[in-house]
Amino acid sequence: MHNCVQITEDLCYIGGSDRRIALFENVYPVPRGVSYNSYLLKDEKTVLFDTVDLSVGELFFENLAFALGERALDYVVVHHMEPDHAASLLRLTERYPNVTVLASMKASQMIANFFAGIDVAVRVVKEGETVQTGRHLLRFVSAPMVHWPEVLLTFDESTGTLFSADAFGTFGALGGSIYADEVHFERDFLDDARRYYFNIVGKYGAQVQSVLKKAAGLPISMICPLHGPVWRKDIAWYLKKYLTWSAYEPEEKGVAVFYGTIYGHTQNAAEILAGAIAAEGVTNVKVYDVSVTEVSELLSEAFRYSHVVFLSATYNNGIFVKMENFLSDLAAHNYQNRGFALVENGSWAPQAGALMQERLSSLKNMRQIGEKITILSSVKEEQAELLCALAKKIAADWKEE
Ligand code: FEO
């Protein structure tokens, strides 16, 4: 049965949510599910903004048929060719053979690559080009690498609606209301929005900044992303989050302590250090076991805070495997611009500290606070004193920032 939401007289939400999915992109756990948004504009011409993932395809096609009624489908705008949005495109063209695809040049090539032999009219649109659909004037905005190179956004100049593709999206299924102003976004979605941003588009901060500059010149009254709630109010608050995140600035002053432990001695060091940092007056200290907390969350938390500490056991003459994976993920996402401190552990040849130092020093604008501390198997009085001295330096830096 169809389940559409009328957003304005002309615009309808026709997407759906998947709460059974375990891993988004077969990588990221999404215990709260995810939504695949699609929108239909009914003007003198009818315009569909993106299709959906196959998992919600049945509902989507019922919604589309209901929302169109007797009308034909004139256009489908393909903002992004990733299959979570474009997997239903072939089926759409089979059901609506007279539809014309509006897409970037790169997207038009991807359509042929994904769907060999697809028979559909494609009109390539460029940055700044417009299409008048009747009462609505749609302007296309190029947004390469947010999140793939073919990405396009659409700004409806008549209503101030920005169809923002993956930008401003979030993990988390929709339920009850599709609007950010009708849910408790900060409590229920912000952690997922941050984790979505840094893991999906975090690597492309410069490209996100360039889109935000374009957006700053637009009178935006509503944002319709491809995942998560629609924004009608407090848009400036969410834009500010994106400005902070894409500039690789910390969102919060705080210290995130990440430890990789095998039998608990490195954990012991982490907890002594975290306690000493808090005792110095730092009010925002978080501690994570990198073997327990899933890596997309670790990554999101590392980007969130101003200061980070990495403590790792030495393993196979290298960094403890879970910590090594986490550090590789940070580097792959352009992690930068933070104060960091290091602690290593080793029972006969401690190596993790030098290797972590090498990795972190290769990242942009990373400042090491204090010297790395070496623990031989377990924390003794002498190392506990060193940990407390390091905590003082971290706290002093935290207070200065
Ligand atoms: Fe939601 Fe990059 O696809």
Q: Are 196 and 189 in contact (CB under 8 A)?
A: no
Task: Using the mean position of ligand 1's atoms as its centre, give its distance from the Cα of residue 294 in Å.
Answer: 21
231 and 378 in a single domain? The answer is: no
Average pLDDT in the 37-48 region? 98
Is residue 195 located within the same domain as residue 318?
Answer: no
Which amino acid type is present at position 252?
Answer: E
User: Of all atoms in ligand 1, which is nearest to the CA of residue 226?
Assistant: 1
Confidence (pLDDT) at 311: 98
Question: CA angle 114-24-6, nearest 5°?
Answer: 85
> What number does the ligand 1 atom closest to the CA of 200 have?
2
Contacts of 169 (CB under 8 A, 6+ apart): 193, 196, 200, 225, 226, 227, 228
For residue 272, what pLDDT band results from cuts at 50, 70 and 90?
very high
Q: Do residue 234 and residue 262 come from a single domain?
A: no
**Shared domain check, 281 and 226:** no
> Exposure of 370 by Cβ count < 10 A (0-12 exposed, 13-18 middle, 19+ buried)?
buried
Residue 231 contacts residue 223 (beta carbons within 8 Å):
yes
Among residues 192, 221, 246, the one where a domain terminates is: 246
Last residue of a domain, one of 222, 246, 270: 246
State the average pLDDT for the chain.
97
Q: Are 104 and 181 members of one domain?
A: yes
pLDDT for residue 395 is more than 80: yes
Q: Which domain holds residue 24?
A: 5-246
C-alpha separations of 70 from 39, 51, 65, 67, 241 in Å: 17, 20, 8, 9, 42
| Structural domain total, the chain | 2
pTM of the model: 0.96
What local confidence, expressed as pLDDT, does residue 217 receive? 87
Q: Are residues 283 and 191 in the same domain?
A: no
Q: Are strands 318-319 and 305-315 parallel, antiparallel or unpaired?
A: antiparallel
235 & 285 share domain? no
Q: Identify the CATH number of the domain in which residue 332 sits.
A: 3.40.50.360
Short-list 385, 379, 253, CA closest to 308? 253
Q: How far is the CA of 349 from the centre of ligand 1 (A)?
A: 44
H or E element in which residue 73 lies: none
Alpha-helical runs (H) found in 115-234: 185-188, 190-196, 205-216
Ligand 1 pocket, 166 CB below 6 A? yes
Enter the DSSP assignment of 231.
B
Answer with the one of 212, 246, 280 that is the final residue of a domain. Answer: 246
Please determine, for residue 175, whether its predicted confidence score (pLDDT) is greater than 90: no
What pLDDT score was predicted for residue 401?
72
Query: Are 37 and 136 contained in the same domain?
Result: yes
Whole-number Å distance, alpha carbon 243 to ligand 1 midpoint, is: 20
Are 350 and 242 in a shared domain?
no
Contact 154, 145 (CB under 8 A): no
Task: Give dist(CA 314, CA 269) in Å, integer.
Answer: 14
Tell me, using a 6 A CB cutoff, whether residue 226 lines ligand 1: yes
Q: Say if residue 310's pLDDT is above 90.
A: yes
Can you tell me the mean pLDDT for 241-247?
97
Predicted pLDDT of residue 163: 98
Question: How far is CA 312 from its chain centroid?
Answer: 27
User: Do residue 223 and residue 364 come from a single domain?
Assistant: no
For helices 381-400 and 265-279, what crossing angle results, to 10°? 40
Domain with residue 125: its CATH number is: 3.60.15.10
The residue-averaged pLDDT of 111-123 equals: 96
Average pLDDT over residues 12-31: 98
Residue with the smallest CA separation from ligand 1 atom 3 is: 82
Per-residue model confidence (pLDDT) at position 227: 98
- Based on the domain organization, do 53 and 199 belong to the same domain? yes
> What number is the average pLDDT over the span 118-122?
96
Single-letter amino acid code for the residue at 170: T
> Which of 214, 211, 75 lies closest to 131 in space, CA to CA?
75
pLDDT of residue 400: 87
Q: Return the pLDDT at 136.
A: 98
Task: Say if residue 132 is in the same domain as residue 37.
Answer: yes
To 10 degrees, the CA torsion angle through 303, 308, 312, 316? 40
Atom of ligand 1 nearest to the CA of 201: 2
Confidence of residue 70 (pLDDT cuts 50, 70, 90): very high
Do 87 and 54 touch, CB atoms closer than 8 A?
yes
CB of 85 shorter than 6 A to ligand 1: yes
CB of 143 within 6 A of ligand 1: the answer is no
With DSSP H G I counted as helix, E B as strand and the rest as coil, what are the percentages for the chain, rounded to 5?
35, 25, 40
